[in-house]
Amino acid sequence: MRNLFLAAVIAGATLTQPAHAALNVFACEPEWGALALELGGDNVSIYTATTGLQDPHQVQARPSLIAKARAADITVCTGAELETAWLPMVVQKSANANIKAGSSGSFEAASFVRLLDVPAKLDRAEGDVHPAGNPHIQTDARNILIVAKALSARFVLLDAASAPVYEQRLADFTSRWTASLAKWEAAAASLKGTPIAVQHAGWVYMINWLGLKQIAVLEPKPGVPASSGHLAQVLTTLERQPVKMIIRAAYQSDRASQFIGERTKTRAIMLPFTVGGTEEAKDLFSLYDDTLKRLLAGAK
């Protein structure tokens, strides 16, 4: 009798287990980890390599990242050379053929959208220049849906048995995202034409999406901290062309933006930049809710 009971328990446990293992997703940035969760649900196990308070350009190829990459079925990253300082080394040291560049387990979000700020010439003396174009595509909420469709298709390719799940979750996400886009764009209508200054030239997609007008950049070159001489030039520019706010990302120091803000009587505001950049930006939807709320408050 006892053996029959144990057999029934084992049989029941087998029936309740998933028919296959979840996809192991190695997400380079929080926005892609959040998107993978929206599209995969219980079918994906996600490790996010960076946080919303971390400069995505400055990441170390730590042993913990290599260990996680070794077990990954897919890397979901921005691409456009944003991770070039660390991801190739992580992939190489992981010795995981599933995620090597060019494989179906290597997914680069930026390859599915039209990149902006493509440099006319390549010169590293000009700072942190990205040859393919500006990689910060997540600051335009419209790009998220484009990437979602491509990522869902990649999940289906890697896990064909769960195709109906991925397709249903994409349809649900698309419906909710489309409705949210309409809401965000209606709320942001008053921002069109608003002049702004930015600490780092990482907001070009948001500026293009919302119709903002960038007047000045506090960094003299991308990724290069502002010198006192450059900030003096910025002040001169803003005396001629005043702005409504000075924007920085959550991971950046506020020294330069506060310095300029105090001297020009302009609001210096911090935006989350990605999921986890602020307490309010807990997922993709609240990321843009919080971003719009902060922009509208800064424009008053």
Q: Identify the residue with better confidence: 13 or 52.
A: 52
- 3-class state of residue 44 by DSSP: strand
Q: Enumerate the H helices of the chain as residue ranges.
A: 2-16, 30-40, 63-70, 87-94, 141-158, 163-187, 204-210, 228-240, 255-264, 284-298
**Burial letters for 55-89: b for 16+ Cβ neighbours within 10 Å, e otherwise?**
ebbebebeeebbebbbebbbbbbbbbbbbeebbee
Q: Break the chain into its structural domains and give their ranges.
A: 16-183, 189-298
Would you state the pLDDT for residue 119?
80
Would you state the pLDDT for residue 77?
98
Are residues 247 and 199 in contact, defined by beta-carbon separation less than 8 angstroms? yes
- Rounded mean pLDDT of 55-75? 94
Token pair of 50 as six digits = 């960076």
Rounded CA-CA distance 211/13 in Å is 55
Q: How many residues does the chain have?
A: 300
Instruction: Domain 16-183: give its CATH superfamily.
Output: Nitrogenase molybdenum iron protein domain (3.40.50.1980)
User: What does pTM read for this prediction?
Assistant: 0.90
Instruction: Domain 189-298: give its CATH superfamily.
Output: Nitrogenase molybdenum iron protein domain (3.40.50.1980)
Average pLDDT, the chain: 91
Are residues 243 and 195 in contact, defined by beta-carbon separation less than 8 angstroms? yes
Neighbours of 127 (CB within 10 A): 13
Q: Is the pLDDT of residue 14 over 60?
A: no
- Rounded mean pLDDT of 34-41? 98
The model's pLDDT over 72-102, given as tens digits with 9 standing for 90+, comes to: 999 999 999 999 999 999 999 999 999 999 9
Would you state the pLDDT for residue 129?
64
**Residue 152: partners with Cβ closer than 8 Å, 6 or more residues away:** 39, 166, 167, 169, 170
Q: Is the pLDDT of residue 16 over 60?
A: no
Nearest of 207, 251, 202 to residue 222 by alpha carbon:
202
